């Protein structure tokens, strides 16, 4: 299969590879896929709780070149966006940017799922804390 230049570029020079402290309150972690399906993506965002802006994003991906490229691109796009803007990233944006062929569309779907999972993890962490804080206030 022929890969687009952008896929090859992300594969050869993946952006933002690594891990953030998943225990931190400001970090949201999304892990999607399954090894037996041949792809697993871990995507993490570090959010500034004051501004809601994603200050850092990291990924690690087990999967084909298109899956690696999709998650690498996602981390690039996430940085500087607010949490709500991040949720607007659609898999079709990734497909278009990387010129993914039809058989690789699921890679972009997985990347979108990973973004949503990471944001939702972050929101849960914040929600859990603010609920607690509220409870404290009421007392």
- Residues identified as active-site: 37, 107
* Shortest distance, position 116 Cβ to other proteins, whole Å: 11
Query: Nearest Cα to 96, choosing from 120, 114, 77, 83?
Result: 77
End-to-end CA distance of the chain: 63
Distances in Å between the alpha carbon of 22 and those of 19, 86, 94, 117?
A: 8, 19, 25, 13
* Shortest distance, position 32 Cβ to other proteins, whole Å: 5
Nearer to other proteins, 58 or 125 (CB): 58
Cα–Cα distance between 98 and 93 in angstroms, integer? 9
* Shortest distance, position 75 Cβ to other proteins, whole Å: 12
Cα–Cα distance between 75 and 14 in angstroms, integer? 10
Can you list the alpha helix ranges (DSSP code H) found in 1-104?
5-12, 65-78, 83-86, 91-98
Nearer to other proteins, 97 or 112 (CB): 112
- Which residues contact other proteins (rule: CB under 8 A)? 3, 8, 11, 14, 17, 19, 31-42, 60-65, 67-68, 103, 106, 109-110, 113, 117
Nearer to other proteins, 27 or 32 (CB): 32
């Amino acid at each position: 299969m022929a890969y687009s230049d952008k896929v090859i570029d992300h594969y050869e020079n993946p952006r933002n590879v690594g891990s953030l402290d998943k225990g931190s309150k400001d970090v949201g972690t999304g892990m999607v896929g399954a090894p037996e399906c041949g792809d697993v993506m871990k995507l993490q965002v570090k959010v500034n709780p004051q501004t809601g802006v994603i200050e850092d994003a990291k990924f690690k991906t087990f999967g084909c070149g298109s899956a690696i490229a999709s998650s690498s691109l996602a981390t690039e796009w996430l940085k500087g966006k607010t949490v709500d803007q991040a949720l607007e990233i659609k898999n079709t944006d990734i497909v278009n940017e990387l010129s993914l062929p039809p058989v690789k569309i699921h890679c972009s779907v997985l990347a979108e799922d990973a973004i949503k999972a990471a944001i939702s993890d972050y929101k849960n962490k914040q929600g859990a804390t603010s609920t607690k804080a509220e409870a404290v206030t009421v007392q």
